Amino acid sequence: MELISNEEKVTRALLVSVDTGDFDAEASLDELFELVRSAGAEPVFAITQKLQKPESATFVGTGKLEEIKRACEDNELDLIVADSELTPTQIKNIENFTGVRVIDRTTLILDIFALRARSKEGKLQVELAQLKYTLPRLTGKGIEMSRLGGGIGTRGPGETKIETDRRHIRRRMETLREELADVEKHRQMLRKRREKDGVITCAIVGYTNAGKSTLMNYLTNAGVLAQDKLFATLDPTSRALKLPSGVSVMLIDTVGLVRRLPHHLVEAFRSTLEEAAQSDIIINLCDASSDEARVHLEVTNDLLQSLGCGDTPVITVLNKCDLIDGGTPAQDFDSYIKISAKTGEGVDRLLEAIDNNLPVRMKRVKLLVPFSNAGVISEIREKCTLISEDYVAEGVEVEAVVDEIIYAKVRAFEVDG
């Protein structure tokens, strides 16, 4: 799907929502506005209808459908975006009635993901999610899928084309799964290597547009794309971060979340999310200036629980506090760390919190290493954190942060502070 034409005319979109009371329709619609902007289109306005459940044939009622058609004609709109997942029948009926192209929330998010994916893994994951979404929707398209134009009931050529497309999609999905399995094996090898080398990992997770990439750039000069758009960053980025204690950790930036994230994408990006889940420390970053801050925290916490992160230390951080009047979020957020990744305010408290949550396998020591054993100092420098070294008559005085493996080798040289 391409939201912007080659002539670079900006697509003007009408947003449509059915409020069934199953979720906060107003907040979801606000988010849809941002999603449409992130896709490069212009959301002109929205039409909402309250129903017990969406109409099976047209999503909205007939009267509301007339209103949508008039709105599209009067405002020269090019696109209708539904804030729910539509069936192929609903899409076809709305398009036939209004003469305007129709997509749903899931298609929109998939399109943004396809636009943002840069790494091989990210592109594979997005394509797999798109195919998973497309496969069951081939049914019922009939003559639209026919090479020759099927007869009554669009049997024959139409049905054959559908079956051909299904087989092609299934084959492609299998190929994608195999390629992703290879990528995952490589990821697991890197993870095991980090564990063997005693590398501590710290993942930044949170709602999309919470400022994860901005924080990553501030802490590590990572050069990650940081824009005021949803899903500006899709591919995980890892950079080394040296803490005030002298310990170095691997900081990982992850894909952002949204409410009602399509399950196709949750499944496709599960390996990437598990990279965060298997970290030693998790930073749950939230946009404190958003009215939905509490909901955003809950969305992230629910995902972390589903990934089995119950025993992993989670540091909750409220970002963008510089955008709040007085710089202080709601009183019931007192226990959380408040920062501005843009200005750096409060980041020192975040680094201190990371230090305080380091796994116990790291230990800060003072050593007097005999010259005959000086080779171990090179090992400390290579694999751990060497804070200082000073040559004295008895050997080399060393201060370092070491893991359990190195500590077992140097324990005999430990001296009191």
User: Is the model's pLDDT at 331 over the cut of 60?
Assistant: no
What's the confidence (pLDDT) of residue 243?
A: 85
What's the confidence (pLDDT) of residue 272?
A: 62
Average pLDDT value for residue range 335-364: 86
What's the confidence (pLDDT) of residue 414?
A: 92
Average pLDDT value for residue range 369-389: 89
If one compares 301 and 410, the residue with the highest pLDDT of the two is 410
What's the confidence (pLDDT) of residue 361?
A: 62
Average pLDDT value for residue range 110-134: 81
How far apart CA 128 and CA 110 sit, in angstroms, is 10
Q: Are 209 and 14 in contact (CB under 8 A)?
A: no
What's the confidence (pLDDT) of residue 269?
A: 63
pLDDT confidence band for 38 (50 / 70 / 90):
confident
User: Is the model's pLDDT at 264 over the cut of 80?
Assistant: no
If one compares 10 and 360, the residue with the highest pLDDT of the two is 10
Average pLDDT value for residue range 202-225: 80
Q: Are 205 and 276 in contact (CB under 8 A)?
A: yes
What's the confidence (pLDDT) of residue 46?
A: 95
What's the confidence (pLDDT) of residue 323?
A: 83
Lowest mean pLDDT among 1-5, 256-260, 349-353: 1-5
What's the confidence (pLDDT) of residue 5?
A: 42
User: Is the model's pLDDT at 159 over the cut of 60?
Assistant: no
Question: To 10 degrees, the CA torsion angle through 269, 272, 274, 280?
Answer: -150
Which has the closest alpha carbon to 347: 387, 320, 314? 320
Average pLDDT value for residue range 287-298: 85
If one compares 264 and 314, the residue with the highest pLDDT of the two is 314
What's the confidence (pLDDT) of residue 144?
A: 42
- Among residues of the chain, what percentage have pLDDT more than 90? 32
Rg (the chain; Cα; Å):
27
User: Is the model's pLDDT at 226 over the cut of 80?
Assistant: no
User: Is the model's pLDDT at 11 over the cut of 60?
Assistant: yes
User: Is the model's pLDDT at 140 over the cut of 70?
Assistant: no
What's the confidence (pLDDT) of residue 263?
A: 64
Q: Which positions ≥6 away from 78 have C-beta within 8 Å? A: 11, 12, 13, 100, 101
What's the confidence (pLDDT) of residue 6?
A: 44
User: Is the model's pLDDT at 254 over the cut of 80?
Assistant: no
Average pLDDT, the chain: 81
| DSSP assignment of 197-241 | TT-EEEEEEEBTTSSHHHHHHHHH-------SSTTS--S-EEEEE
Name the pairing type of β-strands 385-392 and 395-402.
antiparallel
Average pLDDT value for residue range 43-72: 94
Q: Are 282 and 315 in contact (CB under 8 A)?
A: yes
pLDDT tens readout for residues 66-117: 999 999 999 999 999 999 999 989 999 999 999 999 999 988 888 887 877 7
- Among residues of the chain, what percentage have pLDDT more than 70? 81
User: Is the model's pLDDT at 184 over the cut of 70?
Assistant: yes
User: Is the model's pLDDT at 62 over the cut of 70?
Assistant: yes
Q: Which positions ≥6 away from 417 have C-beta within 8 Å? A: 366
How far apart CA 11 and CA 14 sit, in angstroms, is 10
User: Is the model's pLDDT at 298 over the cut of 60?
Assistant: yes
What's the confidence (pLDDT) of residue 174?
A: 93
What's the confidence (pLDDT) of residue 339?
A: 92
